[in-house]
Structure 1
C-alpha cells in the first residue's frame, strides 16, 4: 500500500508546482490584462428612509389586536397653545418603585369660607374598556367691605365617561353637569339696603352629553365628534345646543421628491350646528326666541415638505337665522409655514367663517346677565395673520402672531341699572345685556415657554386687540390688553412642587344705560392678580398643599360694580388610591 501512495503523492506535488509557476508568470504579464467591467449582483437592503415611504400598515401576527389607551387625571390648565412637547432630561424623570395611583380625593379650606373639594376615580375592565368620574365643588364669600347683601357664590361640576378601544380606533362617550350660583351684589354705591330686593340670587344649570370616535392610521375618516348642551338660568332662560363635527382626508396621500421630501393630500372638515334659545323675560321688546342652523364644509389641499407646508381651500358656511334670513358665506381658508431652521419658522394664513354666539357662551364670560339676551352670530368676513415660531434647542419655544379681521356682530355688554320694582326679579342691582356692532379688529398674540433651568418651567402669554367699530367708540366690558407670567419649580427629588402666576388685565370702559340713546360712559381700572401654590408629597399616596389667590389683596372690578374677594389662602390634603 505504501508503495502505491508514494508515487501518487509525488506526481500530484509536481503538478501543483507547475500551476503555481504558471500563475507567477501571468502576474508578471501586466500588458496582457484587458480592460473590462464587472457586474455585481447585490441583494437590496432597505434602510429607514425607505421604510418610512411604505404606505402599507404592517400586519402583526398576534392575537391581541386592541390598543391600550392610557387614562389621565384631569387638571385645569391655562389657555392652550400650539407648542410641541419639550424633550425632557433624564434627571427630570424620577423612578418610583411603587405603582402609579391615578385616582385621588382632595379637600381644602381657607378664609372667606372658601371650601374646595375635588375627586377623580376610574376603573379599567380590561385593556379595551374603562369608565371614570370626576367631580368638584367650590364655595366662597367675597366678604366685601360695607356690603349690604350676601355676596357668595357656589360652583359644582361632575363628569363621567366610558371609553372603548378598538383595533384601530377609540370610542368615548360621556355626560356631565355644572351648577353655578351667584348673589347679585353689583349695586351702585348710593343704593341702600332698603332698596335692595330680597331676590338677588342668580343660578345656572349646564347639562351636556358627548361622543367621540377617533380613528388611527386612516386616510379617509379621521374623527367624528358630537355634543349636546342644555343650559338654563333660574329666571326662565333655557337653551339647547347641538354640535356635530367630522374630519376626513389625509395630508400625505402621495409622496414624491421635488424640493426634497414632499407629500400631497386632500383634507376636509364638516360641521353641523343647531342653536335654540328661549327667554321668557322681555328686554326692550326684543325677540324672546332664537333658532340658528349652521352647516359648513372646509375642503383643502395640502402640500407638506421639508422646507414649506401649505394648506389651501375655502370655508363654506350656510347660515339659517331667525325670520328666514338665510345666507351662504364663502371665505378663503389657507395657511403656510416656511421652515428654514428649527429656530425660525415663518407662518401666515387667511381665514373666515361663522361663530354662533350661545347664551351659555355669554354667561361663561360674564355670569351677571339679565334674563334675556340678544343673540347674533359673529361673522369673520376676512382675516389674515402672519407670525414667527420656533424651538431653540429643547429649552426655549415661542410663537408670535399678528393679524387683522373684518367682522360682523362684534359682541359687547351694556350695564343696565334697574330700579327696584316688584315686576323686576333682580331687584335694584346691576345686570348686563349684550349688544353688537360691525367693524375691524387688529390683534397680537405671543406665547413663550422656557425650560432651560433645571426643574424650573416658565411661560408667558400676551394678548392685545384693538377694535374700530362702525357706530360705537368701544367694545364695552371687553379688555384690550391681557398678559400673564407663570412658573413651576420642583425640588427635594420632585417631592416639593412650587408654582405661581401673575396676570394683568388692562383698563376697560363700560356704558351705563339701557341703550346708547341715554346713559353715560364709565371707566374700569386695570388690575394685577398674584397666585402662589405649594404641594409636598409626604408618601406615595398622601400630599399636602397650600395655595394663595389674589395675594395683592385688591378688590378689583372684573365687571362694573362687581368686585372680587380679596386675598384668600386655602390649605388641604390629597389622598391617591
Structure 2
C-alpha cells in the first residue's frame, strides 16, 4: 500500500510547494529515430559500449545514468516550442504508433512513427508530427496562432562492422510576431514562416580501431522574408582505445576529431546582412584510465575563414584566424559514492540563423552573425552513486568568452507616423548582439529512486555574466531549475508524471513610442533596464494502457493559468488541458 501512498503524497506536496508555478508548453510525445545529437542526450539508454554487435547491447540495459544529463532544462519559452514533459513507459516502447490529441486554445496534436525491418537488418521508417494552437484571442486583438509540423524518413542498417543511420526531415514553423506592446495596431498581418530541410548521416564502427565514427549533417533554410541559410558539417573521429601501459593496470585511449563546417547566410530585408563561414577543427586527446579514475589531456584547434557583407552600406569584412583551446579533465574515484573531477575546456561556436530561431523564434529576418569564442572554462565538481538509489552531480566553473551572443529588443525601424507597417516593424522583434566578458556557473543534477516504480529528478543551474560593454545580459535568467517525478502503477498500465520548471527574473531592453511634432512622427525612448519577470511552471500528465496496443492520455500545462511573458510582449498560453488516444502496433 505504501508504494501507492508515497508517490501520491509527493505529487500533492509538490503542487502546494510550488504555488507560484505558471507555465509549460507541450510539444510532441516523440518516439523517432532522431538526430545523433538527440540520441546522445537521452537520460535512459543502454550502455555506450562498442566492441560488440547491437543485438547484444539490448541485453545489457542500464536503468539510469547521470552521464550527459544536462543541468538545465531544454525548456524554451514560446507557446509552441518547448521541452517534451510527457513521461514515457520504459521498456515497452514500440516504434510503430499513431497519436492524436485535442485541447483548449484550439490545440491539435498529431504524432506518428512507422518503421519496418527488411532483410539484412535494414530498417526503414516514416516520422511525422504536428502541433497547432489558435493562440491568445482574448489577450490580443491581432493574430497569435502558431503551428509546427515535421515529416521525415529514416533508414537504419546494422552490418558486421558497424551501424549506419540516414535521415531526412522537412519542417515548417508558422508563427506570428504578435508581441506588440508599444503600439496598438489592431488586426494586422504578422506572419512569419520558416521552412527547413535537413539530411543527416551517421556511421558508427563497433570497434574503436582507427576510424571510430563519421557524421555528416546538412540543413537548408528559407523563411517568409526570403532569408536563406545553407549549412553542412562533417565530423570524423579517429581513435585507438584499450592500449595497456606496461603492467600498471592503466589503459591508454588516443582520439583525434577532425571536423569541417561551412555556413552561408543571406538576408533580404533591412540591412541585407550576409555571411560566409568555413571552419576546420582538430581535437587531439589522450586519456589514461585506471578503474573509474582517469586523466585526459588534449587541445582543440580551429581554423576559421569568415566574410560578412552589408549590402545596404556596401561594407565587407573578411577575417581568417587560427584558434587554440585547452582541453583537459581528471576524475579521482575515491569510491563509487564520491568521484572528484575537474578540468578546462574551450571552443568556437558558429552562431547560425537556424540556431538563433531555435532559441528565439521572434528575431527579425536580418541578423549580423558572429562566432562565439570560449577562450577557457575551468570547472571542478563531485559526482557519485549512493546505493544505486541516488545519483548526483554538482560542479562550479569560471570562464572567459568573446562575442557572447544574446538577444536585444528592436525598436521600430522608421519614425513615419503610420501603423501600415511590415510584420516585424512594431517594436516586436529581436536581434542578436555580442559582448565580451566572464561567466561563472554553478550547476547540479540528481536522480532519486525511492521505489522501484518511482523516479524523481532535479536540475539547477546558476549562471552569472560580467560583460565588458553591457550592464546586463538581456533575456538570460540568472537561475534555471526543474524538478520532476514519474510513477507507474496498476501493473505498469498507469503512468503518472509531474514536471516543474523554473527561471528567475530576466532583464531586457524595451521601448516607449509616441507621436510628436507637426507633421506627426514617431519618437522612440529606450529603457535599458526593464524586467520581463521569472516564471514557475507546473505540468501533470497521465497515460493509461487500456490494451497493449491502445492507451489514452491527458496532459495539463500551466495549471495556475498565468499569461506571463517570455520575451517582452510575448505572453504564453494559459492553463492547457489536452487529451487524446495512442495506438501502437
TM-score bin (small chain): 0.7 to 0.9
Partner of 2:157: 164
Distance 1:425 1:222, change over 3 A: same
Matches within 5 A, 1:104-253: 104-188=97-181, 190-193=183-186, 198-253=188-243
Partner of 2:448: 450
Task: Give the paired residue count.
Answer: 486
Deviation for aligned residue 1:80: 5.4
Partner of 1:304: 289
For the 8 Å contact 2:191–2:423, the answer to whether it is kept is no
Question: Residue 400 in 1 paired to residue 424 in 2?
Answer: no
Partner of 1:270: 258
For the 8 Å contact 1:113–1:139, the answer to whether it is kept is yes
Cα shift readout 1:5-64 (whole Å, capped 9, x = no counterpart): xxxxxxxxxxxxxxxxxxxxxxxxxxxxxxxxxxxxxxxxxxxxxxxxxxxx89xxxxxx
Deviation for aligned residue 1:251: 3.6
Matches within 5 A, 1:160-559: 160-188=153-181, 190-193=183-186, 198-258=188-248, 261-283=249-271, 288-306=273-291, 308-322=293-307, 323-418=317-412, 420=418, 424-512=422-510, 519-521=526-528, 522-559=530-567
Whole-Å Cα distance in 2 between the matches of residues 146 and 110 of structure 1? Answer: 18
Whole-Å Cα distance in 1 between the matches of residues 268 and 492 of structure 2? Answer: 55
Whole-Å Cα distance in 1 between the matches of residues 168 and 493 of structure 2? Answer: 35
Whole-Å Cα distance in 1 between the matches of residues 446 and 257 of structure 2? Answer: 30
Distance 1:513 1:374, change over 3 A: farther
For the 8 Å contact 1:221–1:248, the answer to whether it is kept is yes
For the 8 Å contact 1:550–1:567, the answer to whether it is kept is yes
Whole-Å Cα distance in 2 between the matches of residues 187 and 82 of structure 1? Answer: 34
Q: Secondary structure of the residue that 1:554 maps to in structure 2?
A: coil
Whole-Å Cα distance in 2 between the matches of residues 119 and 430 of structure 1? Answer: 35
Q: Secondary structure of the residue that 1:102 maps to in structure 2?
A: coil
Partner of 1:565: 573
Q: Secondary structure of the residue that 2:527 maps to in structure 1?
A: strand
Deviation for aligned residue 1:429: 4.8
Query: What TM-score comes out, normalization by structure 2 length?
Result: 0.79
Whole-Å Cα distance in 1 between the matches of residues 559 and 305 of structure 2? Answer: 48
Deviation for aligned residue 1:79: 12
Distance 1:447 1:351, change over 3 A: same
Partner of 1:89: none
Q: Secondary structure of the residue that 1:324 maps to in structure 2?
A: strand
Deviation for aligned residue 1:367: 0.3
Partner of 1:17: none
Deviation for aligned residue 1:248: 1.1
Whole-Å Cα distance in 1 between the matches of residues 189 and 354 of structure 2? Answer: 22
Distance 1:360 1:466, change over 3 A: same
For the 8 Å contact 2:368–2:432, the answer to whether it is kept is yes
For the 8 Å contact 1:67–1:128, the answer to whether it is kept is no
Deviation for aligned residue 1:422: 5.1
Q: Secondary structure of the residue that 1:282 maps to in structure 2?
A: coil
Deviation for aligned residue 1:421: 5.9
Q: Secondary structure of the residue that 1:400 maps to in structure 2?
A: strand
Distance 1:225 1:307, change over 3 A: closer
For the 8 Å contact 2:409–2:427, the answer to whether it is kept is no
Deviation for aligned residue 1:247: 1.1
Cα shift readout 1:486-543 (whole Å, capped 9, x = no counterpart): 10000000000000101111100111269xx962121111111111100000011110
Q: Secondary structure of the residue that 1:274 maps to in structure 2?
A: strand
Deviation for aligned residue 1:302: 1.2
Deviation for aligned residue 1:146: 4.0
Whole-Å Cα distance in 1 between the matches of residues 568 and 427 of structure 2? Answer: 11
Whole-Å Cα distance in 2 between the matches of residues 372 and 94 of structure 1? Answer: 44
For the 8 Å contact 2:349–2:371, the answer to whether it is kept is yes
Whole-Å Cα distance in 2 between the matches of residues 549 and 79 of structure 1? Answer: 29
Q: Which has the higher contact order (CA 8 A, sep 6+)?
A: 2
Distance 1:331 1:440, change over 3 A: same
Deviation for aligned residue 1:382: 1.3
Deviation for aligned residue 1:452: 2.2
Distance 1:79 1:116, change over 3 A: farther
Deviation for aligned residue 1:409: 0.6
Whole-Å Cα distance in 2 between the matches of residues 148 and 307 of structure 1? Answer: 60
Whole-Å Cα distance in 2 between the matches of residues 66 and 334 of structure 1? Answer: 31
Deviation for aligned residue 1:413: 1.4
Whole-Å Cα distance in 2 between the matches of residues 95 and 157 of structure 1? Answer: 26
Distance 1:518 1:429, change over 3 A: closer
Deviation for aligned residue 1:256: 3.5
